[in-house]
Amino acid sequence: MNDTAVSAGAAAPKGALDPQAETTARPLLAACGVDKSFFDSGRQVSVLRALDLEVAHGERIAIVGHSGVGKSTLLHILGSLEVPSAGKVFFEKQDLFALSAQALAEFRNQRLGFVFQFHYLLADFTAMENVAMPARIGRIAEGKARELALAALKAVGLEDKSHRRPSELSGGQQQLVAVARAIVLRPKLVLADEPTGNLDAQTADEVNRLLVRLNVELGITMVIATHNERLARQMTRILRLRDGRLWDETLV
């Protein structure tokens, strides 16, 4: 088992590089010297400390660690939902926190997908309407948004449930709808926070297989915070968050 602090992503392929390969070798996402502290009863608590991470195009990475260690905080910072106390996050060399609030919102809508432990579906909307929401927020015409939503539901195997509301779906189906919503605009990166945490073992395995398939077939890069060992072992890298930093524990 490898147990070294993370400072770079996957190594570039060996041999001559054509321009396309060179572009692919550049990190999609990079966190540089990220700190995050909170104040609890007047006492400063450091969660992340000078954390570095590079994520290559097409990778699928598991971030593991004890509850409360800061996995969700890290994912929120990587997704620009939360501002670090120090350090920078780059997406394709763009300094995310140098963007305006509007530009960040557009970035999240168009380039990122989020999956959380709880599905956060809108109860009064159908599965298709929930999945189409990012497209509608992105001001895509209704007809095209519905087309994209149906394609995403087909990708997760739920096209026949498109007109059902969340209350008419099982817990696993609700989470699959949440995954479809995350990929509806074909983002380059999906950030998932305990995506199988509320599911039984069999349903969790189905979601695990789906996430791997979407990574392989659609080329969507994935960073997943999880306690699920079976899911973690299906990732290309396993990183443990400990003492505010990431340590490579990928099995080789």
pLDDT for 122-164, tens place per residue? Answer: 999 999 999 999 999 999 999 999 999 999 999 999 999 999 9
Residue 6: band (very low, low, confident or very high) from pLDDT cuts 50, 70, 90: low
pTM, full prediction: 0.85
Residue 245 to residue 248: CA distance in whole angstroms = 10
Q: Which residues does 23 contact at the CB level (< 8 Å), separation at least 6?
A: none
Specify burial of residue 207 (Cβ count, 10 A radius: 0-12, 13-18, 19+).
Answer: buried
**Phi–psi pair at 221, nearest 5 degrees:** -70, 140
Report residue 25's pLDDT band, with 50, 70 and 90 as the boundaries. low
Walk me through the domains of the chain, giving residue ranges and CATH numbers: 58-83+100-248 (3.40.50.300)
Asked if residues 128 and 163 have their Cβ atoms less than 8 Å apart, the reply is yes
Give 207-252 pLDDT, tens digit per residue: 888 999 999 999 999 999 988 888 888 899 999 999 899 998 865 4
Q: List, for residues 89-108, the tens digit of each pLDDT value.
A: 999 999 999 999 999 999 99
Higher pLDDT pick, 140 / 22: 140
